[in-house]
Structures are given as structure tokens and as C-alpha cells.
């Protein structure tokens, strides 16, 4: 399977991703989508599966909104950090934890969930289609899946404007062009993921881009000094065609027919 395990890098991941403006923008846009499109579809206190949920940033937000969460991750170190932060937030009673690969979840959970979240996981997996198949099995008929993944088109455009001309197209997944260890190495094409979901009998209801502006700013200081305004603009533009297609991440709201 050989999916990326962040044991030994959990603290660095927290600092490099969640401790930066890019992590704050991503979290803000994804939480907005959950609030507007995902949580309203669930009954009160309906349990949610957060598959590959890492340190539990989004899981804590959902728990704080009153939803019990089963937090899964391949990394035990990540889950230890998540448990500690849930306790610090007074949310420990709303959490259960399950370490292991997403592909094993269908055999481990007692019953499928009406709400499943899987953010920023597919791009770290060697078998993204197998991950999607497992998520489909974990999703109950009539349920909804919040799926976010590193977008191939956004990654390519970012390399273009950065002048990384030897790191385009399929070369982006080549070991020869992998430059930043904490940047996902397997961006996914929106059209491919949508086709895979449809082949599993799932329905894509909505699409938006995540970080459609932030990463392309010429003046990088604005990422810090104007962060609040930047988030407002990200939310205003993330669902517009063309802009959404160039987001560094893509968010899909997916449902399973009853």
C-alpha cells in the first residue's frame, strides 16, 4: 500500500501547513463548505467519520458544533496530537480514534456513516481509487461525503507562474522533480476524480476551489498583512468557474443515492 505516513513529521507538518496563512485559508474555505453544504444535511448529533483527519483541526470544529467524530489516521503520532488537542478544547467525550489505512475502514466500522470527511489525503496515497472505494463503502445510502484533494491543474499553473518549467504535466509526479518534501507529490486531475466517484455510484453535487488567490499573489506579504480580506475574497471567488479550476485544492460535495 505504502501510503504516506507522517509519523516523525507530525510537528513539522503542523508548523509548515497549519501554522501558515496557506493552512488558515484552506481551513477557512473548507469549514465554510462544511457549514453551508455538509453539516445541514445531517441529523442532529449524527456521527461523522473523518478519514485521514490528521491532527483533527476540522474534526474539532465539527465536534464543537455538536457532532461526534470518529477520527482515523494512518499516523499514530498525528492521532496522539489530535487527542491532546481535543482534551484541551473540552471535546474529548465527542471523539473516538481509529489508527490505520482508510482502505481497511470498511471492515473496522460497525456501520456506515451519514457523513464522511476526507480532506487532503488522496494526493498522499499510491492508490487513490482504492481510497475512494473504501470511502464509498463507509458512506451510508443518502449520506454525504466532503472530499478535498490537491489539484493537478492548480499545481501545474503554480509551477508555470513560478518559472518551474521542468516541473509540468506528468513530470510533477516524477521523483526527479519532487523538490519540497511537505508538498504533495501526486496531484489529481478534477475530471479523473469525478469519473472515479461516478463509477462507484456516487453523485458529485458541488465543486469549489481552495486557495484560488492566495498562492498566486505577487506580493506575498499580503498573505499575512491582509489575511482576513484575503479569506473574504477566497470565499467570494472559490465557486466561480475558471477560478475554482485553478485552486491549489479542489473540494467536492458528494452524495450516495438511497
Q: Is 223 a member of any domain?
A: yes
Residue 175 lies in a domain: yes
pLDDT tens sequence across 33-60: 999 999 999 999 999 999 999 999 999 9
Domain membership flag for residue 184: yes
Contact in structure between 119 and 30 (CB atoms under 8 Å): yes
Q: How many domains does the chain have?
A: 1
DSSP run (H or E) holding 208: strand 203-210
In this structure, the number of other CB atoms found within 10 A of the CB of residue 76 comes to: 15
Instruction: Report yes or no on 167 lying in a domain.
Output: yes
pLDDT band at 17 (very low <50, low <70, confident <90, very high): low
Least confident piece of the model among 59-68, 168-177, 235-244: 168-177
Q: 85-94 as b/e, with b when 16 or more CB fall inside 10 Å?
A: bbeeeebeeb
Residue 1 has pLDDT above 70, yes or no: no
Q: Residue 3 domain-assigned?
A: no
Q: Is residue 154 part of a domain?
A: yes
Long-range pairs, 239-242, Cβ under 8 A, ≥24: 239/206, 239/207, 239/208, 239/209
pTM of the model: 0.90
C-alpha span between 80 and 87 (Å, rounded):
11
Residue 177's pLDDT band (boundaries 50, 70, 90)?
A: very low
Return the ∠ at Cα 48 (arms to 232 and 103), rounded to 5°: 105
Is residue 81, in this structure, part of any structural domain at all? Answer: yes
Domain that holds residue 122: 10-255
Please check whether residue 5 lies inside any domain of the structure.
Answer: no
Average pLDDT over residues 73-77: 95
CATH number of the domain bearing residue 208: 3.40.50.150
Amino acid at each position: 500500500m505504502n501510503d504516506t505516513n507522517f509519523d516523525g513529521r507530525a510537528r513539522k507538518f503542523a508548523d509548515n501547513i497549519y501554522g501558515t496563512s496557506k493552512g488558515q485559508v484552506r481551513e477557512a474555505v473548507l469549514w465554510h463548505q462544511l457549514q453551508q453544504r455538509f453539516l445541514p444535511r445531517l441529523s442532529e448529533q449524527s456521527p461523522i467519520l473523518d478519514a485521514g483527519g490528521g491532527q483533527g483541526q476540522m474534526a474539532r470544529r465539527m465536534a464543537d458544533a455538536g457532532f461526534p467524530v470518529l477520527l482515523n489516521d494512518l499516523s499514530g503520532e498525528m492521532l496522539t496530537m489530535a487527542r491532546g488537542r481535543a482534551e484541551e478544547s473540552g471535546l474529548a467525550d465527542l471523539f473516538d480514534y481509529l489508527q490505520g489505512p482508510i482502505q481497511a475502514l470498511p471492515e473496522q466500522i460497525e456501520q456506515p456513516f451519514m457523513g464522511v470527511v476526507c480532506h487532503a489525503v488522496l494526493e498522499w496515497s499510491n492508490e487513490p481509487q482504492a481510497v475512494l472505494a473504501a470511502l464509498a463503502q463507509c458512506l451510508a445510502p443518502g449520506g454525504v461525503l466532503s472530499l478535498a484533494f490537491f489539484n493537478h491543474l492548480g499545481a501545474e499553473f503554480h509551477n508555470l507562474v513560478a518559472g518551474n518549467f521542468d516541473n509540468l504535466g506528468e513530470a510533477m509526479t516524477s521523483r526527479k522533480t519532487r523538490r519540497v518534501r511537505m508538498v504533495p507529490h501526486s496531484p489529481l486531475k478534477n475530471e479523473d476524480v469525478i469519473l472515479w466517484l461516478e463509477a462507484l455510484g456516487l453523485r458529485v453535487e458541488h465543486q469549489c476551489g481552495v486557495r484560488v488567490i492566495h498562492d498566486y499573489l505577487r506580493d506575498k506579504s499580503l498573505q499575512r498583512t491582509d489575511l482576513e480580506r484575503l479569506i473574504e475574497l477566497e470565499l467570494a471567488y472559490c465557486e466561480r468557474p475558471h477560478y475554482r479550476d485553478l485552486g491549489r485544492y479542489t473540494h467536492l460535495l458528494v452524495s450516495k443515492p438511497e
